[in-house]
Amino acid sequence: MWCDALCIEQDNLEDEGIFEVMGEIYKGAYFTIVNAAGSDSWSRLSGVVPGTRSVNQPVRQIGNVWYGAAQQIRKAKLEKSTWNHRGWTLQESILSTRLLIFTHDELVFECDELHAEWAEGMHLEHPNVIKDAHLGVLNIHKVKSKVYTKGISRWGELVNQYSQRQLTNANDTIRAFQGISRSIADGADSSVFYGHVLAFFYSSLAFTVRVTVRRRRTQFPSWSWAGWNTHGLLETENFKFHDLQFASKLIPTMQAYRFEKIAEASKSKAPAGTHTAHYIRIDAFSEAKSTNPRYVPKRTARWTPHPLRLMVEGQIATSLEPHILLLENADVAHLPVSRHGAELPTQPDIESHKAGTRKYDVLPDSWRLLSANAKLLLELDEAWRDSQPDELEFVAVGVVNQDNQDYPREVYTLIIETDGRGISQRVAAMRITYSTWEHAERRRRRVFLG
């Protein structure tokens, strides 16, 4: 038997190794025990000890036969359970091949292999076929021919499910999802970096989120979904990974690198105080055609490291950390954004987390003709917008619908803010028509994104 409370060294939770293999633990287990009746990890398993069940089942005798009313619908019981709202337990239900579920009034066994369910409170001649079961084993390695489109769609759905769950410690945001991310990444012969599966890194980088800088988790980078706190929102899609059905058609317009190390530069080759920053290129799948093969690496069984060395000096040299991305040769533009935003419509699920948020007009006045007379609206924190200049900095992530005549060609962009050190933070994201972006005054520059 494997038990997290005993098998994970509780005094050494900084050891990331165990979280990397959580997916293998659940997938390799014969079955996983779920305490759906408990309120915390100290709760007893219902029914194991007499008096620990709360069964309310009316029974009637008709002739010589006793009849009992069916128990509460199991799906409803699970949805209301504390187990179903905890962040750590999502990977239990997703990755386990079998679940032995203790509810407050019965024992349920679910088997993903047979797509069947057995319940103690009901006897059927044939196993009850699962239609809306919690089991959803990824088995992503079985669909490797479609791993990109299948993988990113499934990953996006699970990020949204996970973002609505509760974590006692916000520092566990990436750890508690690592088993799921790792399973999808393994199927794509890829790896995980701050919650993102690198195989479809660029497509997942341009996500939109229903909160502003007021709800940032600063312990994680701004370019990661983990850096934005959406817990408590009623919306079922807190994160939107732009049009996932078209994500594999995205053509990156820059090259991303992850930080490896920094060392003092050779004095014979550089001025005093200069350092050499070492980066490794992030490759990602893309099914789109491009005239520039630099941005669309060929698919390989395993990623081949492509190192990059930069000479850096000043504050940037002392500020580089593992979470800071390098966007090399990024396509950036400073676009006008209105000063006075419109109030958001009153909705019960947005009043609390969007207090102080307004909608601002991007590319006003003469730019409207380039935007096909359609307004480009951007939700920003009002206090943050007031502290910024008239023009905000946009950086292009990639272009979609390059060859699709049925949909407009668009550029996925991030709105960034750069501090005095030269480190930028993601503030928001939006899509801009390709023609509008082409008419903007743009330049290529190196962006350090934290």
Shared domain for 147 and 211, answered yes or no, is yes
pLDDT score at 180:
86
Give the Cα separation of 320 and 41 in Å (integer).
39
Contacts of 46 (CB under 8 A, 6+ apart): 35, 37, 38, 52, 53, 54, 102, 103, 104, 105
For 318-324, what is the mean pLDDT?
Answer: 81
For 109-135, what is the mean pLDDT?
Answer: 63
pLDDT score at 442:
92
Token couple for 220: 């994680």
pLDDT score at 402:
58
Residue 237 within a domain: yes
DSSP per residue, 123-149: --SSPEEPSS-S-----GGGGGGGHHH
Q: What percent of the chain lies above the pLDDT cut of 70?
A: 67
Shared domain for 125 and 152, answered yes or no, is no
Contacts of 380 (CB under 8 A, 6+ apart): 212, 337, 341, 357, 358, 360, 427, 428
Residue 124 within a domain: yes
Shared domain for 182 and 242, answered yes or no, is yes
Give the Cα separation of 45 and 37 in Å (integer).
7
**Torsions phi, psi for 426 (to 5 deg):** -75, 130
Last residue of a domain, one of 198, 224, 247: 247
Angle at the Cα of 40 (from 238 to 2), degrees rounded to 5?
95
Q: 31 near 112, Cβ under 8 Å? A: no
Q: What's the per-residue H, E or C state across 363-382?
A: CCHHHHHHHCCCCEEEEEEH
Token couple for 59: 């029974």
What range defines the domain where residue 231 resides? 140-247
Shared domain for 56 and 111, answered yes or no, is yes
- Whether 254 has a pLDDT exceeding 80, the answer reads yes
Shared domain for 155 and 122, answered yes or no, is no
Residue 147 CB-density burial (10 A; 0-12 exposed, 13-18 middle, 19+ buried):
buried
Residue from 293, 296, 282, 370 nearest 333 by CA:
370
Residue 365 within a domain: no
Shared domain for 119 and 174, answered yes or no, is no
Residue 31 within a domain: yes
Residue 362 within a domain: no
Residue 321 within a domain: no
Q: How far is CA 75 from CA 92, 135, 442, in A?
A: 16, 12, 53
Contacts of 61 (CB under 8 A, 6+ apart): 67
pLDDT score at 182:
85
Shared domain for 78 and 124, answered yes or no, is yes
Instruction: Pinpoint the alpha helices (H) of 126-257.
Output: 147-163, 178-187, 201-205
Which DSSP category does 70 fall into? P
Shared domain for 35 and 112, answered yes or no, is yes
Q: How far is CA 24 from CA 19, 97, 139, 205, in A?
A: 10, 11, 12, 26
Shared domain for 16 and 124, answered yes or no, is yes
Shared domain for 101 and 179, answered yes or no, is no
Give the Cα separation of 207 and 224 in Å (integer).
9
pLDDT score at 405:
64
Give the Cα separation of 110 and 151 in Å (integer).
24
Q: 181 near 162, Cβ under 8 Å? A: no
Q: How many domains does the chain have?
A: 2
Last residue of a domain, one of 247, 270, 290: 247
Q: List % helix, strand, coil for the chain (3-state, nearest 5).
A: 25, 30, 45
Residue 330 within a domain: no
pLDDT tens profile 93-104 = 888 888 888 888
pLDDT tens profile 267-300 = 545 566 677 777 888 876 644 444 343 333 343 3
pLDDT score at 215:
85
| Sign of the four-CA dihedral 47, 50, 54, 57 | positive
Mean pLDDT (the chain) is 75
Shared domain for 149 and 199, answered yes or no, is yes
pLDDT tens profile 41-83 = 778 888 887 877 777 777 888 888 887 776 666 677 777 888 8
pLDDT tens profile 147-172 = 444 566 777 788 888 888 888 888 88
pLDDT score at 303:
44
- Whether 401 has a pLDDT exceeding 80, the answer reads no
Residue from 344, 307, 330 nearest 396 by CA:
330
Residue 279 within a domain: no
Shared domain for 149 and 110, answered yes or no, is no
Last residue of a domain, one of 209, 229, 247: 247
Strand partners, 325: 449
